[in-house]
Amino acid sequence: MSAAVSAGAGRPLGIYTKSLHAGGAAKTKSPAATAGRYALQRTAQGLLWQKGVEWKEQHRTCWCCRSLKRESGSVGVFRNADGSGSSLTGLNRCGEIWTCPVCAARICEERRRELSAGMTAHVGNGGAAYLFTLTFPHEADHDLGEMLERFANVRQRMQNSRTWKRLMQQAGCVGRVSALELTISQENGWHPHVHMLVFAKAGGLGEGAPINEHGDLDSPEIAELRLQWVNLLLKVGFGDRSKVTDMMKHSFNVRGGTKAAEYIAKYGRDERWGASSEMTASYQKTGAAGERQGLMHFTPFQLLTWAGNGDAWAACRFREYAKHIAGKRAITWTPGLKKALGVDSDRTDDEIAADDSRLPEQIEVGELTTEQFQTVLRRARLPDFMRYVADATCQADIDDYVNAIASIAPTNSGAVVIRGAFAGRYAIN
C-alpha cells in the first residue's frame, strides 16, 4: 500500500474519521470543554506571535478575546443554566475558524445549523444527500502550500469536466456544500481532503444499498466519477501509475442516506456524535487523538494540545499550517443553494464570532471591569476563570475569584485593554 491514503486497518484517510479519536464514546458537554478551548487559544496566540513585528501586523488570533469592543465598558459573564459551560461578551474576536478554537466553536455551531436546516428541507421534499470525500496521495516531505494549491486546481478541473457535469445533471444535483479539512501524521505528513455534500434526487447516482457497514455506495456512475478523479490526480502530479490501485480504492468515496446524515455532523453544541454535520466537525476537534506514532492523524487543534505540553514538532507544524491555510475558505455553498433550500442565514465568520446575543440556556452571572479582566489575563487565568464561572451564581463570586488571584505575580507582560485596538482592524481610541 502506498503512503498516500492509509489511516491504519486499511481505512482511507479523511473518510472514517472515528480513527482520529481514542475510543468512540460520545462526548458530553462540560465546563472543561469551554476552558480547554480558551487554553488552546492561548497556546495558538503564543505560537503565532512574531517577536519584533508591529502589533498591527500580528496574526488576528493573537488579539482574540484580549480587548474590549468600542461600545463595551466591561466584560459580560454568562453561564449555562445547567452548569455545562460559560461565555463572555463585549470582547473583540478574530473570527478565524482555522486558528482559533474559541471562534471556531461559535462559527461551527451556526454552520451546523445551516447544514441541518438545508438537509432537513431537501430530504423532506424527497431529495437525497450524498457525501463525497476527495483526497490524494501524500507523503511527509510534501510541501503543504504546494499541495493546497494543486488540490484546489484539481477540484476545479473535476467540477469543470464533462463527466462531472453530465453525471451531476443526471443525478438532479441542485447544489453542493464543500468543506476543506486538514489532518497530519508524523509518518505521512499533511493530509488535505474535502468533504462535499451533494444535494440531488433520490437514487440519482444509480446506487443500491450500501456495500459495507460504513455506508459506502457504489454504482457505474460513481465508478465513472472515481476514475475521472484519479485520472485528474495523475495529470496534476498527485501519485503515479504504480499507485493507481490504492488511489482507486481510497482517494474517492461516496456515502448517502442515513450514513451521510450521521457523518456530516458529528458535533453540535453538546459535542456528541449526532446527525448534523461532519462538514463542520474538524474545525473544533480539540482533544487528544491518541498515540502520535504510526498513522494516527491529528487535527490542527489537536496539535495545539501537544504543543501546549511542550512538543516542538506539533508547535512547528501548527505554525506551518497557519501560514498556508490563511485566506482559504473552510465551508463553501454553491451560489443559490441556500435560497433553494430555504436557508436564510448568510452571515460571515466575523459576524458570527462577534455576535454577543444571549442564548436561551444562558444566565447572566455578572461582569468583569477592565481592571478585573486585565488581572485575569495577566495571570493567564482565563481558562480557569471560564471553568470556575460555570458554577458561579452572582457578581460576588466573580469578585471573590479576581481578589483571590490578584496577589499572584503576573506571568504575562500585559493585556491588550485599549478599547477598539484589535489586529489592525480597529482604530485606537
pLDDT in tens, 272-283: 223 344 555 555
Length of the chain in residues, anyone? 429
For residues 39 and 142, membership in a common domain is answered with no
Q: Are residues 114 and 91 in the same domain?
A: no
Among 354, 387, 413, identify where a domain stops: 354
Indicate whether 251 and 289 sit together in one domain: yes
pLDDT at 2: 33
Q: Within this chain, do residues 244 and 119 fall inside the same structural domain, yes or no?
A: yes
Largest CA distance in the chain: 71
Would residue 410 count as lying in a domain?
no
Do residue 143 and residue 196 come from a single domain?
yes
**Residue 120 near residue 223, CB atoms below 8 Å:** no
Residue 43 lies in a domain: yes
- 243 pLDDT band, cuts 50/70/90, is confident
Highest mean pLDDT of the ranges 6-10, 89-93, 342-346, 407-411: 89-93
Residue type present at position 267: Y
pTM: 0.84
Is the same domain home to 85 and 114? no
In a domain, 66, yes or no: yes
d(CA 163, CA 224): 8
CA distance 354 to 44: 19
Q: Following CA atoms 24, 28, 31, 37 in sequence, which dihedral angle do they give, to the nearest 10 degrees? A: 40
Tell me: do 303 and 226 sit in the same domain.
yes
Say which residues have a Cβ less than 8 Å from residue 52's Cβ, sequence separation at least 6. none
Closest CA to 389 of 23, 34, 149, 114: 34
Q: Please state, in angstroms and rounded to a whole number, the distance separating the CA atoms of residues 164 and 134.
A: 14
Please state the domain count of the chain. 2
CA–CA dist 35, 386 (Å, integer): 5
Q: Which three cell numbers stand for residue 336?
A: 443559490
Range(s) of the domain holding residue 58: 31-99+362-405
Strands 252-256 and 127-134: antiparallel
- Burial (CB < 10 A; 0-12, 13-18, 19+), residue 132, is buried
Residue 106 has pLDDT above 60, yes or no: yes
Predicted pLDDT at 285: 55
At residue 134, does pLDDT exceed 60?
A: yes
Whether the pLDDT of residue 216 is over 60: the answer is yes
